[in-house]
Structure 1
Amino acid sequence: MHDDQYRTIAPDTLPEVVIRYLKAHGVHDTAAAVSAFTGDATVIDDGTPYEGTAAITEWLDRSATAFTYTTRLTGARRADADHWVAAQRLEGDFPGGVVDLHYRFSLRDDLVERLVIEP
């Protein structure tokens, strides 16, 4: 989806599954975060794909322990019922200390089928 197909929305109007994932990821609750995904989901973080719940679980566990950081939801956009973007600011002890990331969600059957995380 192209960015011009998205419209700005209030962050609290994101789908329940997106909010559930973001909250679980923010508190490093891997089991709750993984429950937001379809069994065949794909996550692409920093250009690296993680396919299936086993790979996504490993990625979540690794990202939870690599650095200490906090997250804050700073914005949200919607293209249609299945395509959403959540903007988050991460602050922590990683190189640079602060980063704004876009979490691009594609949903299927009220679960996350694809998540792309990028600046």
Structure 2
Amino acid sequence: MRTLILPEPIAAYFAADQQNPEALARCFTPQAVVKDEGHTYAGLEAIKAWMAAASARYSYTTEPFALVKEEGFQVVRGRVSGNFPGSPVDLHYRFRLERGLIASLEIAV
């Protein structure tokens, strides 16, 4: 099996402890935007609140298994397993990077 090599900010995002929104926020630019479950979170404070709410509701792990580059984005497929309805599920994480940080992230099935 081949090891998946992710760009540093994306690897840091997946390595960050879901219980530590501050560590996760350090992966993003100050003006970053996250889209998840039909909601948009703009800026670091909103992103930290999104992560804190997600980790309060569910306990989960993500195992990235594929990476493709498309039109300026890095798209990671990851299997998410945890105590949520429909677990496990494969999600697409569409990252746009700027200056070594995540500028945008869209999460979709």
**What is the Cα deviation at residue 50 of structure 1?**
0.2
Match of 2:64 in 1: 73
Residue of structure 2 aligned with 1:16, choices 8, 33, 47: 8
**What is the Cα deviation at residue 78 of structure 1?**
1.6
TM, length-normalised to structure 2: 0.89
Structure ranking higher in helix proportion: 1
The one-letter amino acid of 1:96's match is: G
Match of 2:36 in 1: 45
TM, length-normalised to structure 1: 0.82
Question: Aligned to 1:94, what secondary structure does the other structure show?
Answer: coil
**What is the Cα deviation at residue 54 of structure 1?**
0.4
What is the distance in 2 between the residues matched to 1:33 and 1:67?
16
Superimposed CA distance per residue, residues 3-42 of structure 1 (whole angstroms, 9 cap, x where no aligned partner): xxxxxxx621x210110011115x4332121001110100
**What is the Cα deviation at residue 70 of structure 1?**
1.9
C-alpha RMSD of matched pairs (Å):
1.5
- Number of aligned residue pairs: give it: 107
Match of 2:108 in 1: 118
Structure 1 unmatched ranges of 5 or more = 1-9
The runs of at least 4 aligned residues of structure 1 exceeding 2 Å deviation read: none
Superimposed CA distance per residue, residues 84-110 of structure 1 (whole angstroms, 9 cap, x where no aligned partner): 011111111111121110110001111
Question: Aligned to 2:16, what secondary structure does the other structure show?
Answer: helix
Structure 2 unmatched ranges of 5 or more = none
**What is the Cα deviation at residue 79 of structure 1?**
2.9
The one-letter amino acid of 1:23's match is: A
